[in-house]
Every structure is written in structure tokens, then in C-alpha cells.
Structure 1
Amino acid sequence: MLQVLTSAWALLLGMGLLMIGNGMQGTLLGIRGEIEGFSTLEMSIVMSAYFAGFLGGSQLAPGLIRRVGHVRVFAALASMISAVMIMYPTLTEVWAWTLGRVLIGFCFSAVYVTAESWLNNAATNENRGQALSLYMIVQTAGIVLAQALLLTADPSGYVLFVIPSVLVSIAVTPILLSISPTPAFDTTKPMSLKALTKVSPLGCVGMFLLGGVFSAQFGMAAVYGAKAGLSVAQISTFVATFFVGSIITQYPIGWISDRMDRRFLILIVSAIGAIGSFIGMVFGANFTLLLVSAFIVGGMSNPLYSLLIAHTNDFLDRSDMASASGGLLFINGLGAITGPIITGYMMDTVGPGGFYLFTGVLFLALVAYAAYRSTRRKARTKEETGAYVAVAPSYTSVALEYAQEHAKDAAQDDAKGAKG
């Protein structure tokens, strides 16, 4: 762990600042949209735009990096992010915010691709798992800290938009000045969606459904809080609780997944997520129970992401794992784009509780499909399954391929240990 910190502290510090900036702008827009009088449908379009941009960035960023290099891409896109964050309070129009969210989603995706390739270059086979863990912790901690910073100023003013803009600008400095040399960059061509669906129908369907859950959490949780009449402090706590739950439950569920049929565990975790959604929908007026529901939903959905990837890997040759990761990310991105729009429609139809109704329906759909798939083929034995590796929904194809390599290494180590 110390070795990872020594070699990649500047990158991790920069990524932490970037995540604070990203976490602040997402929640702040949900609060400010209510102040500006934007409708729920309008805000759902604004929030959905981020995921459209992120998906586009994940597809185009590798080619952009190959043409002009890591340093230029990172610096240029970080500058664009900073500029857009200042634009939000200056031009409070739905079309402007939507365009800004597309740009920010695209830029953050490309920035993450660049940073993750640097992290891959800084790590070794021996500390790869530790580097992944630190990267996930830094990302989650950044989003949680961002919610606390929302309490430092009035959301109807400019200051809260200036803070993330400054943080993003500062984040570039340690990364560009401290990280050397610039790594070689290459990504694996994604497996076709048809081939991927044939290999793991549950993995593909589950990733699409989870895309909707994630985009609801990251994009619409603040909108829900504003529509439900929560204070800024309550909204900040509410949003942060999703991510606190995600980091606390990730590793216990991962430990269990290496010791039982992953399809059954996917079913159980999804069912618990549905219960958490039910609690939020029915008892949302009680703030304590609202936090309980956020903890459960966040604590179940994020490990589910890793579970579905691990389950898909169980039916892949090791040589195909990296190419499959790109397809899974694309499917998840499609679900994420549609999530906020459907959530906004449901909130307009049934009230703020439509937020939890949407996540609950998605969880229950995953329960039903996991149960169905359990009847279609036998479970893999423990010897046939790969290792569970904790990954975050914010990972791009670079970090996910990086995690896949770690999973292969861990599986090989387990096989050697069993023979020994």
C-alpha cells in the first residue's frame, strides 16, 4: 500500500479533487434547478445528458489520446470542465445546462481514461489490487466530501459553482507536474454485444438495469431531495449515504461471492436493494428511514456491479475478459442514459416517491431474471469461477481492463495454491 502511495500519490490526489468537483456539480445542479423553477422532466433531461456525454467520451477518448497525447487531452479537457462549471449559474437555461452536462460527461470520461492509464503504468503486478482499492476509495471519498462542501455557501449564489471549478483546475497541477513518464496507451477492441449476450445473458441484462439505478443515484438523488422538501444539509447527507453504503458493503459481499453461486447472491442482493427502495418510497417522510434506504440501495447496487462482471467472467476464457469489459460498460451506459428521464417521468406521475419506485422496479426485474437464469444452466463450481474484484461504476474501460487483469492474476494464484 505504501509503495502505491509513494508512486502514485499525485495521481490519487488529483483524482480525489476531480471527484470532489464532479460530486459537487451533480448535487448542486439538482438543488439549483429547484431554485430556478425547472420542472422534474427538465432536470431529468439535464441529468441524463451527463451519461450521454460520458458514454460518448468513453468511446472517443482512446482515439483522441492516441492523436494528441495524454498531457494535452488531460489539460484541455480539465480546462473545459472548469469553464463549464462557471457557466452554469451564468446561463440558467435548460438547453445550456443540458449542453454543459454533455460536455462535462464527455470531458470527465476522457480525463478518467487518461488518469487510469497513468495509474496502470504506476502499479505493478504485485500491488495492482492495492492500487485498484485505493483508486476506488479515493473516488468514493471525493464524492462524499463534495456533499459536505455544499454546506459552505448559499446554493442560489455563485460560490458553490466556483469551488468545484477551482478544485478541478488545481487537480491538474500535481498530475501533470509529478507523473512521468507518459504511459503507452492501448485498449482492447470490445467484444460484440451479440457475442457477449450469448456468453452471459444475466450479466448483460443486469448491467443495463444497474445503469438505470446508478444514474438515478448519481443524477436524480438531489432532484428527489429538492422535490421532497429536504434542506441543503439533508440533501447532502442523503446523497453521501448512497456512496458510504457502497464502500462499506463492497468487500463483505465480494468475500461471500467467492464462496457461493453468484446468480443466487445476485438475486439476494437485488432483493435487499428492492427492500431498501420500498423503505424509501413508503417512509420517505422520515429522514432517518430515508437515510437507511439510501444506505441499502447504494450498498447493494455498487457490489452488484462487481458481481455481474465477476459472473460474466466465470463464463469467459481469460483471453476474452478484457474485450468483454468494453461491451459491459457500453450496455451499462445505455441504461444510465435512460435512467434519469424515466425517473423524472415517474416523479412527475406519482410524486417524489417515483424515484424509489423506479429503482425498486429495476431491482425486482433483476431478481426475476436472476431466478430465471438459475434454471437455465448449472452453477459453476468454485474451481471454475474467477476471483471477485471490487470495481466502481465510474470506472472507464481502462480501469476495468486493469481490474480484469488483476482477476486473472488472482485466479492463477488460486490455482497454483490449490495444486501446492
Structure 2
Amino acid sequence: MASVVRSTWPLLLGILLLMVGNGMQGTLLGIRGGIEGFPTFQMSVVMAAYFGGFLLGSLTVPRMIQSVGHVRVFAALGSLISSVLILYAAAPDWVVWAALRFVIGFSFCGVYITAESWLNASATNETRGRALSAYMIVQMLGIIVAQFLLNTGDPAGFLLFIIPSVLVSLSFTPILLSAQPAPAFETIKRMSFGRLYRASPLGCIGIFLMGGVFSALFGMSSVWGAERGMSVRDISVFVAAIYIGGLMLQFPIGWLSDRMDRRKLVLALSVFGTLVIVATVVMQPNIWWLTVVGALIGGVANPVYGLLLAYTNDYLDQSDMAAASAGLLFINGLGSMAGPLITGWLMGLIGPDGFWVYMGVLLAMLSTYAGWRMTRRRALSAQEQGNYAVVTPSATPLAVEAALDEAQSGSETPPAPAQG
């Protein structure tokens, strides 16, 4: 791992700064929206717009890169991000914010795709797995650091919007000045949704549901905290706990998934998440217990997404993985756009607990469907399964394709697609 970090540190440093900037703006908007007095549903539209922009970016940015090249796309989208981060504070209107969030979601997707293609090209077959792990860890660390930077200024002022703008601008320096040449880039062909569903019904339905959980959890946490009357410090601690839980539990759950029926693990985690949410709504815990809850739910949301990707991959030829990952991420994007909107509607209807009710219902639906699918298809042996890939729900198609390919090639005897 040390040798990988030494060879890719400019790129990893740039990604770290990018994620700090992105992590700050997401949480800060929820807090600032409460200060401006925006209704919950209006803020849910603002938060959903990011996922809409991200989805559009995943479909169109690869063609932009092919047309004008990595460097131009990277620089143009980076400039957009830096500008939007300042405009939030200059134009505190929810309609303007929604438009800006759409632009910033599109732009962040583009810079991630570009950075990930550089990382993928700079790694060898022997180091690609470690490089991807380092990349995912740096992403999570950046968002965690961002939450604590929120306590350095007044969310009603300009400073907390200036800091992420500066960090994003600085992030491009090590990336663009690195010695690595821009790699060749090929667009990813897509698999029909019908074929994808026939390969793995649980993968398709599960990833749609987890897209809703992820976007509600990571898009609406600060809105929920502001409506509940939590301080900036408490909101930042709660959101940081979500990412810390996701980071810590990825690897032990991944280890388990390579040694048992992945559907059982999906079922167990979704039932566990549902029970945690029910207990939270009933007990109304204080901030310290909420921190534990955040870590547990984050520890469920991130690994379950990777589990569903790995499970789907078990039923595909290696040549189909890229097309399937693009299709699954599109399904995830549709679920992600709906998440904040439905959460905001529920919070307006029943109060802050709507935040938890929505995620609890989705996790309960996932556990029910996973249990039913276990009666419809035989379990795979550990030898028939591919390896678990550490992938976050915010990963781009390029990162997912690379992670799945690395997981498949990391097996001593790559499995053939399972039948049944």
C-alpha cells in the first residue's frame, strides 16, 4: 500500500481536497436552509437535484472526454464547482440552489470520472486493487474531515462557503501537474434492463432501494438535524459518524461475504438496520446515542450496496461486468433522486421522524424481497462466488467497473457465471 500511495499521492491528495469540499457543501446547505427558513420539501428538492446532475453526468461526461479530452473537461468542470460553491451564499433562494446543486452534481461526477481514469491507468494489474482501496479510503476520509471543518465558521455567513471553494480549486493543482499522461478513454456499453433483471432480480431491486436509503441518509441528514434543532457541532458529528461506520464495516462485511451466501448477509444487515431505525424512532435518543445510530446505519448502507453489486456480478460473464455496472448505477441513480423528495414529503407530513421512517420502510422491503428470493434460486458456494468489491454508493461507473474487474481477477480461479 505504501508504494501505491507514493506513486499516486498527487491524485489521492487532489481527491481528498475534492471530497472535503463536496462533504462540506452537502451538510452546510441543510444547515443554512434551516437558517434561511426554507421548508423541508423545498430543501428535499435541492438535495435531490445533486443526484439528478450526477446521473446525467454519468451518461454524458464520457462522451465529453472523448470529444475534447481529459484536461479540458477536468478544468472546465472544476471551475464550475468552485464558482457554484460561492454562489450558494450569494443567492440564498431554494430554486437557485436546486439549479446549482444540479450543476455541481454533474460537475463532481465528471471530475470523479476523469480522476478515476487517471488512477486506473497509472496502476498496474498487481497494484490496481490497492490503488482502488486507497482511493475509496481517501474519499471517505475527506468527507469525515469536512464535517469537522463546519465548526470553524458561522453557517449564516460566507466563510464556510469560501473554504470548500478554495479547497476544490487547490485540488486540481496536484492532479493537473502530476506526471501521469491523460489515459485513453472508452465509453461503457450498457446492458438492457430486462437482461440485467433476469441475471439478478435481487441486485436490481436491491440497488434501487439502497439508492433511496443512501440519498436520504447522505442528502437529508443535515436537513433532518436542522429541523430537529440540533447544533452545527451535533449535526457534523452525526454526519461524520455515518461515514466512519461505512468505512469501518466495509472490510469485515466484505470478508464475510466471500465466505457465505451473500443473500443471507443482505437479509441480516437490512433486518438489523430496520430494527435500529425502529428503536431510534421509539426511544428518541440523545446526540451521543444518535452518533452510534449514524455509524450503524452508515455501516449497513455502504456494505449492502457493495454486496448487491458483488452478488449481481456472480451471475455475469466477466465481459458483461462493465455494461452491467453502468445499468446498475443508472438504477441506483433513479432511486437516489427519489430518496430526498419522498423523505422531505414525509418529514413535512409527520415531522423529523419521517427521515427515519422512509429508510426503515426501504430496508424492511429489501429484507422481505431478499428472503423471498432465497426461495427462488439456489445458494452459490464460496467457490462459485467472485470476490467482494469495496465500492461506495457514490462511485461512478468507471470506479465500479474497475473495482468489480479487480475483484473478479483477484480470485485464484475466476468463477464462471452461475446458473439457476
Which category of TM-score, normalised to the shorter sequence, fits these structures? Answer: over 0.9
Query: Does 2:68 match 1:68?
Result: yes
The Cα offsets for residues 291-329 of structure 1, whole Å up to 9 and x where unpaired, read as 121111100110001100110011111211121100010
Distance apart, 1:282 and its partner CA: 2.4
What residue is the counterpart of 1:275 in the other structure?
275
Greater CA deviation, 311-320 or 53-62?
A: 311-320
What residue is the counterpart of 1:119 in the other structure?
119
CA contact (8 A) 1:280 1:353 kept: no
The Cα offsets for residues 307-354 of structure 1, whole Å up to 9 and x where unpaired, read as 001100111112111211000100000000000000001111111011
| Equivalent AA in structure 2 for residue 316 of structure 1 | L
Counterpart CA distance in 2 for 1:346 and 1:104 is 26
What residue is the counterpart of 1:316 in the other structure?
316
CA contact (8 A) 2:63 2:187 kept: no
What residue is the counterpart of 1:217 in the other structure?
217
The Cα offsets for residues 263-301 of structure 1, whole Å up to 9 and x where unpaired, read as 111100111111222233223342122112111110011
CA contact (8 A) 1:206 1:308 kept: yes
What residue is the counterpart of 2:36 in the other structure?
36
What residue is the counterpart of 2:351 in the other structure?
351
TM-score, structure 2 normalization: 0.97
CA contact (8 A) 1:279 1:293 kept: no
| Equivalent AA in structure 1 for residue 120 of structure 2 | N
Greater CA deviation, 175-184 or 330-339?
A: 175-184
Counterpart CA distance in 2 for 1:295 and 1:277 is 12
| Equivalent AA in structure 1 for residue 375 of structure 2 | T
The Cα offsets for residues 165-194 of structure 1, whole Å up to 9 and x where unpaired, read as 000000011100114211111132021111
Counterpart CA distance in 1 for 2:358 and 2:179 is 43
Identify unmatched segments of 5+ residues in structure 1. Answer: 416-420
CA contact (8 A) 2:386 2:414 kept: no
What residue is the counterpart of 1:9 in the other structure?
9
The Cα offsets for residues 340-373 of structure 1, whole Å up to 9 and x where unpaired, read as 0000011111110110111111100000000000
What residue is the counterpart of 2:418 in the other structure?
none
What residue is the counterpart of 1:294 in the other structure?
294
What residue is the counterpart of 2:394 in the other structure?
394
| Equivalent AA in structure 2 for residue 286 of structure 1 | N
CA contact (8 A) 2:310 2:404 kept: no
Greater CA deviation, 29-38 or 287-296?
A: 287-296
The Cα offsets for residues 386-419 of structure 1, whole Å up to 9 and x where unpaired, read as 111111112101111111210221124577xxxx
What residue is the counterpart of 1:360 in the other structure?
360
| Equivalent AA in structure 1 for residue 34 of structure 2 | E
Counterpart CA distance in 2 for 1:322 and 1:252 is 26
What residue is the counterpart of 1:418 in the other structure?
none
Query: Does 2:229 match 1:226?
Result: no
What residue is the counterpart of 2:136 in the other structure?
136
CA contact (8 A) 1:70 1:182 kept: yes
Query: Does 2:180 match 1:180?
Result: yes
| Equivalent AA in structure 2 for residue 156 of structure 1 | A
What residue is the counterpart of 1:371 in the other structure?
371
Counterpart CA distance in 1 for 2:192 and 2:390 is 24
Greater CA deviation, 54-63 or 124-133?
A: 124-133
| Equivalent AA in structure 1 for residue 264 of structure 2 | F
CA contact (8 A) 1:276 1:294 kept: no
1:4–1:135 distance in 2 versus 1, CA, 3 Å: same
Distance apart, 1:146 and its partner CA: 0.2
Counterpart CA distance in 2 for 1:279 and 1:287 is 14
Counterpart CA distance in 2 for 1:118 and 1:275 is 42
| Equivalent AA in structure 1 for residue 73 of structure 2 | V
Query: Does 2:405 match 1:405?
Result: yes
CA contact (8 A) 2:408 2:414 kept: no
User: Percent same amino acid among aligned pairs?
Assistant: 56
CA contact (8 A) 1:227 1:352 kept: yes
Counterpart CA distance in 2 for 1:177 and 1:145 is 25
Counterpart CA distance in 1 for 2:7 and 2:74 is 19
CA contact (8 A) 2:47 2:101 kept: yes
